[in-house]
Amino acid sequence: MTAITFNNLKSLRKEKISNQAELYTDISLDLKIDENTKDLTPSFDEVAVKNAIQNILSTKPGENFLYPTFGLNLSKHLFEPISEFNAEILGEEVVNSITKFEPRVTVLNVGVGVNIDEQRYSVTIVLYIPSIGRRVSFNPIFTNDGMYFLGNNKYV
């Protein structure tokens, strides 16, 4: 049985802090093992924050029993008609959830595009991370099948 340790995250963080005032470190969502350190591959800065946002969007309230209010209930939109009205509601829920659960960011913009023919919403999320002075954006797609993050090639 292989043991997974998190010692590498601490040492990598110490190395990077000497170059930056503040740094965010998280476990990479792909859970790959670094062959050199035999530890989970870490994510830093904006990638770590993007991971946190992805966790917010893909977790239903109640799934995390230690934090039962955490997440966003996107499944309630599954059988609703794709429309501009529902897109506006969806956008507001995304903004409220990110604002509530991710204090490291400022939401600059959340745009929700409606594609009735393909029965999906294309979302653009633009955030600012004040402590590291960086803007980040990403584009999840919400469909009746779930949520798809462009670049990750997987549904959540």
Write the pLDDT tens digit of every residue in 15-74: 544 455 447 887 777 778 888 888 888 888 888 898 999 999 999 999 999 999 999 988
Instruction: Supply 2's token pair.
Output: 């292989």
135 in any annotated domain: yes
**What whole-number percentage of the chain has pLDDT above 90?**
47
Contact 106, 128 (CB under 8 A): yes
Which pLDDT band holds residue 88 (cuts at 50, 70, 90)? very high
CA atoms of 54 and 41, how far apart (whole Å): 17
CA atoms of 154 and 1, how far apart (whole Å): 28
DSSP class of residue 5 equals B
- The CA radius of gyration of the chain, in Å to the nearest whole number, is 17
The domain tally of the chain equals: 1
Pairing, β 154-155 against β 146-149 = antiparallel
pLDDT at 129 over 60: yes
pLDDT at 7 over 90: no
121 in any annotated domain: yes
What pTM did the predictor assign? 0.78
Lowest mean pLDDT among 53-57, 110-114, 145-149: 145-149
- In a 10 Å sphere around its CB, with 0-12 CB exposed, 13-18 middle and 19+ buried, how is residue 87 labelled? buried
2 in any annotated domain: no
114 in any annotated domain: yes
CATH number at residue 124: 3.10.450.40
98 in any annotated domain: yes
**Domain housing 94:** 7-155
Which pLDDT band holds residue 151 (cuts at 50, 70, 90)? low
**What whole-number percentage of the chain has pLDDT above 70?**
81
1 in any annotated domain: no
